[in-house]
Amino acid sequence: MSKVGFIGLGIMGKPMAQHLIAAGHELFLQTLGAVPEDLIAAGGKACATAAEVAKAAEIIIVMVPDTPDVALVLFGKDGVAEGLTPGKIVVDMSSIAPVETQAFAAKIEALGCRYLDAPVSGGEVGAKAQTLTIMVGGHEDTFAKVKPLFELMGKNITLVGENGAGQITKVANQIIVALTIEAVGEALLLASKAGADPARVRQALMGGFANSKILEVHGERMVKRTFAPGFRIALHQKDLNLALGTAKALGISLPNTATAQELFNACAAHGGSGWDHSAMVKALELLADHKIVAD
């Protein structure tokens, strides 16, 4: 069993850490606010700082919202870097900017340690069910050492390439997710406006070529009006900003990604930053002056 540090115990991080504890690993925990009592009761050890986590653990996992948060956890006062000794492994499972990821990896490796970027997809449902998709960038030997931990948190685990490759894969993932949410929203909105029962339309579509996890999970959210996160719109806005910023740097156009971002922006303008990202459909409903309603 390994000594594992886990920093960031939010909607995603907490169930991921729970799976590692349940498998018998020794967990050293730190988060914004208090470490959840149930994780401590299960055997996790609360630490006061990220540096304390890094001193105690062999592998340190970070799961926080955005690039500045990762920078602060790793290199801020009492950060991970202050507690590292050569040979340890830092694994960032957050979704952040690919370019900054490469810079973070270089700093950690200069300390004699290894670094993996390993963002995930699957949301709260996947985190709880241990079915996350994990996209990894880094050295193959480091990946091999950490893979048994990944297998406790996810199912589809892929080493994509060197540091930064995991993050660019996650950016691509978020483009597909956003555009599929938009497509499902348009389809169910059209069906509802035309007088068909969107719940039955969704059920019919799930048996054909249009089926997807988005139609299954988020289509149901749209029909039932259950928009508690999940995955918050504010976080998906952040991911699409990374996509659009990367595209600008590369000199390419992502027109439909930009449209999806504007729909998220409209939701945020109506107080929806904290809604689940399936609530993008609310922006489409405003444009149509019609809400999806099931019989």
Catalytic residues: 170
Label residues 31-45 b or e (16+ Cβ within 10 Å = b): beeebbeebeeeebb
Contacts 24+ apart (CB under 8 A), 23-28: 23/152, 25/1, 25/149, 26/1, 26/2, 28/3, 28/4, 28/52, 28/53, 28/56, 28/57
Longest CA span, the chain:
65
Q: Answer yes or no: are the C-beta atoms of 54 and 48 closer than 8 Å.
A: no
Q: What is the 3 state secondary structure string of 170-192?
A: HHHHHHHHHHHHHHHHHHHHHHH
Strands 132-137 and 120-121: antiparallel
Q: Dig out the tokens for 163 from the structure.
A: 């540091």
Label residues 260-275 b or e (16+ Cβ within 10 Å = b): bbebbebbbeeebebb
Nearest to 70 by CA among 102, 39, 110: 102
Helix and strand numbers (H, E) in the chain are: 15, 9
Q: What is the DSSP letter of 93?
A: -
CA–CA separation, 102 vs 109, rounded Å?
A: 11
Angle between helices 280-288 and 165-193 (to 10 degrees): 40
Q: Dig out the tokens for 105 from the structure.
A: 């990896």
